[in-house]
Chain A
Amino acid sequence: MKAESNRRIESRATHPPSLRFDATSHATRSRPIRLLTAVPICDGHDSAISTINLEFVRRGLEVVYLGYHRSVRDVVRAAIQEDARAIGLSSYNGGHVEFFSEVLRELKRRGAGDIGVFGGGGGTITADDAKLLKRRGVDEIFFAGTPLDAMVNFVKRKYATAKKTFHAATSPSARLADGALAKCLTAAENGDRLSTLNSELSTRTLGVTGPGGAGKTTLIDELALRFLSTHPAGRLAVLSHDPSLVGDGALLGDRATMIYAQDDRVFMRSLATRGHAGGVSRATARCLDVLRHAGFDLVIVETVGVGQEALPFRRDLVDKTVLVMSPDYGSRLQLQKIAMLDAADLVVVNKSDLPGAKTAAAEIRQRLEHNQRGQRLIVTMAKRHRDPGVDNLFREVMS
């Protein structure tokens, strides 16, 4: 707590706020509870957590799922960036006492002791382990046979309100630690209005969209790898979207498939669309403003998987837009209906190893030439290590 407030003062002192929020009004209103769930390092048992995630989402929670085989640093970094109320860990491979304890220590060290920790591991976590872990600060350990209902009810009760909310005086700046920035984003997501916007912005922004399954997340992760290696001191932000379900819950799973973006120089935030159609959230523009002011060199916005009619990036939301397609869009006629093909600056045909990729690239190239807007077409195979197509894309993005 202390470190956090010191930092706040410091940031106010050295960086005159260019952007402020009106009030803390919305931060504690009844918004979906955000959780981060993960499976510890060297553990691939994701069956239980997948089932639990689905249940959480069905019952109205927003779950950021980090995936399996994740280190303490990755877990804590993600929980802080996502402003999760709690971390749920599913551990089946032993070493849980050390792992849970290390998560608690790392949270405190990073001034995020307000984030709760709970977990389970079937029968591998004994009653004695659970007692010890609870003494150390874990909120709850669920034993084998706990009904899903009991877990949902616990989480809804225990994490109903945020312990620490956004401070009105905080303003996004390059000096802001992940935790404070995350709180700003939460405020922005929950509808707090921004006032003055007056600073020089050198942040480059990139919008990435395309149908589900085209490989957007993989491409972004590969771009992250290239960014980190070519900008040794650079900072990257990723604002990623996943759809909310009818019951308000959402499974935010983009982090789970990312490898290279798990890095201290990458700030990633997952947004649920919360009923907003079109590929992004109502709060996307506000969140993007926050990130623009937070000193990132590059901010990438990833939309949900979109349909033919979607034009998710309204004018000047981002500097550059990329449409990612896979070769299996159907007939040439379908191509005529994809609105984003007229709007995107760059069009990527990913999965170039699939049959029909060459034809797809040729058809799309014709379509773009017809537009006469100087749109670039790039063919990639993002799943391949060091794919030259992704290298080209990265050059185009940074140009």
Chain B
Amino acid sequence: MNSLGRVVEVVEAFNRSVEAQVKRTRRDARFASELRRRWRRIQAQIPEIEIPTGLKFPRLALPPTDEPAEIARYLFGEGLPGEFPFVNGTYREMYLEKAESGKQKTEIEEPTRLFAGLGLAEDTNKRFHYLTHHQRTIRLSTAFDGPTLYGLDSDADGVFGKVGEGGVAIDTIEDMERLYANFPLGNEHFSVSMTINGPAPILLAMYVAVARHRFGPRVIPKLRGTVQADILKEVQAQNEIIFPLDASLRFLRDMVEFTTKYMPRWYPISISGYHMAEAGATPVQQAAYTLSNGFAYVEMFRARGLDVNRFGPRLSFFLDCALDLEYLALARVCRKLWAVGMRDAFGAGERAQLFKLHTQTSGRSLITSEFKNNLTRTAAELLLAYANATNSCHSNSADEPFTTPSEEYVRLAAHAQAILLEESGSFKFMMNALSGSPGMKIVERVVERAMLEEFHQLDELGGVLAATELRYQRSQIQAAAHRYEQQINDGTRPVIGLNRYHSAATESPAVNVVRTSREKKQRQLDRLEKFKRRHRSQSERALDQLAKVVERGGNVFAELIDTVEHCSLGQITARLADLVGRYRPTL
């Protein structure tokens, strides 16, 4: 049996143990009254808050019950926020506004995170500075252009039109320097996230090298941020992979080993279901494949000799939130399965049991026709994401089906989050104000069962890697995508403004399309050429040195931090591809 089969077992055992506690309350009167006392104690400790209308409320909403069986089911089966198995949230307070002055200050984690990347590095840098005017802490999230995502230089054959489109063009360490210029890279209130996978180790190496240039080597352990680097989902859904899977996983392991040892604040991998959902996965497929990929990475890093309690807390997750009913409780189930699996199948301690989740509202749910409805879609999805206690969230801009979002719609998307978290009273005054409805509980149960069934299926196929090679997840996702399209076509899946309440007007909406001009693209090429010329004498030697490390099985990431000083992204991927081959796409 694979580790996934073991996860299914421990979750089932956990559920049985919760039921056993529930039954015990019925026959063991002492246990029942003990539990009741504990429950009262918990309630008594909850502080009150007076909201602007003058009414007072508890800061944490608990089920209104005095029944020991229900108390047991809640405390053992769901846990208080911040307690195992974390169904109600990874932390105690999540989005709560700071308690009144005079009381102990609670640290607020700013959950808003906006994805940006356009044109050249300096353009994105400007956008970052613009965006962070609206944020209390600086958390940058970076999108890269197509050539960068595929590890190609801007001067590669036939990619000119793609330079700076849909994300920022990064070819060299100098571009990386421009990208985050004037931001305090080592500051504890600054973090950066990079959405990059195939060439992730190279881009992160550039980031580390830039930080080293600007702040000296002692900044490295202080760097905070995330690099997506989730190669399994690339094979399963997103298709941005450069090297064969085995080699890609080796480069990933090297990077994770390095960050685990020397960059303890870094999240070296963001295990992502978002792209699966965007490619057509159902909510359950998304969640099940993402968690199973997570368990596969854990197994892989452990086999590398890394301690689950050191790398475990640095794993984070990234899921889509759309409008399907499952999203009412999807993240709640994920937190539970991850915590139980990590504790009972992998022996992980509490910090490594946390399913730290970044959510993005669904891009696929946004459409072009009557596109301003997208504002409503995103708002509804945001509500679901926060009701699921996501740790951070990105809200899509309404104009995203057309273009890299314009500033107007980026602002509206950011404000949507502020309206929910700061203007509305649903999240800032009371923790768990929306959790625990009968419907939410039912969705939890059904989703959990379906996810375990998926785990079982993957286990039968020989585990995540074997199933991936068999194209199992990929073909399941494709089949789901096909079904989704058919449902839109035949109207069983209503899309307002498209197959229902469609207005006759067909003119295309006036949105400001953001494109990168020819001149800018050319400027990037010129810079790259200058870089290559300047480093001509050292680049070959640096690449040879890298090749040696690859061939003798050394840590490739540690070497890349030096390689990027003299070599461009494209030069490095080309040399690595010579050594390990190129990824062979599957249908």
Contacts and interface: CB of A to CB of B under 8 A. Distances in A.
Contacts of B158: 41, 71-73, 102
A168 interface: no
A197 interface: no
Interface stretch (B19-27, B126-134, B376-384, B577-585): B577-585
Contact of A145 (B150, B369, B482): B369
A144 B150 contact: no
Given A51-B482, A143-B368, A41 B244 contact: no
Given A51-B481, A144-B368, A385-B244, A98 B585 contact: no
Contacts of B152: 42
Kindly name the residue among B161, B580, B587 whose own CB sees the greatest number of chain A CB atoms within 10 A: B161
Contacts of B163: 95
A47 B369 contact: no
B585 A385 contact: no
B91 interface: no
A40 B160 CA distance: 12
A42 B146 contact: yes
A105 to B, nearest CB: 12
A259 B149 CA distance: 18
Nearest to A53: B587
A50 interface: yes
Given A126-B402, A127-B508, A44 B369 contact: no
A159 interface: no
A215 to B, nearest CB: 10
Given A42-B152, A51-B482, A257-B587, A145 B165 contact: no
A99 interface: yes
A43 B165 CA distance: 11
Interface in A86-119: 93-99, 102
Identify whether the interface residues of A are mostly helix, strand, loop, or mixed: loop
B239 A69 contact: yes
Nearest to A122: B401
B275 to A, nearest CB: 9
Identify whether the interface residues of B are mostly helix, strand, loop, or mixed: loop
B585 A94 contact: no
Nearest to A225: B581
A305 to B, nearest CB: 13
A144 B498 CA distance: 10
B65 interface: no
Interface string A139-152: 00001110111000
B279 A47 contact: yes
Kindly name the residue among B145, B244, B582, B587 whose own CB sees the greatest number of chain A CB atoms within 10 A: B587
A351 to B, nearest CB: 9
A43 B585 CA distance: 13
Nearest to A93: B146
B367 A385 contact: no
Interface string A31-72: 000000000111111110011001000000000010111011
A93 B165 contact: yes
Contacts of A144: 367-369, 401
A311 B166 CA distance: 51
Given A126-B513, A148-B489, A256-B587, A386 B581 contact: yes
Interface of A: 40-47, 50-51, 54, 65, 67-69, 71-73, 93-99, 102, 122-124, 126-127, 143-145, 147-149, 218, 221, 253, 256-259, 383-386
30 contacts: A42-B145, A42-B159, A44-B238, A44-B239, A44-B240, A50-B482, A51-B485, A69-B585, A71-B157, A94-B161, A95-B160, A95-B161, A98-B161, A99-B161, A102-B158, A102-B161, A123-B367, A123-B371, A123-B401, A123-B403, A124-B401, A126-B508, A127-B507, A144-B369, A257-B587, A383-B244, A383-B584, A384-B244, A385-B244, A385-B581
Interface of B: 145-147, 149-150, 152, 157-163, 165-166, 238-240, 244, 246-247, 278-280, 367-369, 371, 401-404, 478, 481-482, 485, 489, 498, 507-508, 513, 515, 579-582, 584-587
Given A44-B238, A47-B280, A93-B165, 14 more contacts: A41-B159, A42-B149, A42-B159, A50-B482, A51-B481, A93-B162, A94-B161, A95-B159, A95-B161, A124-B402, A221-B584, A257-B585, A259-B584, A385-B244
Q: Which 5 A-B pairs have the closest CB atoms?
A: A98-B161, A42-B146, A44-B239, A385-B581, A94-B165
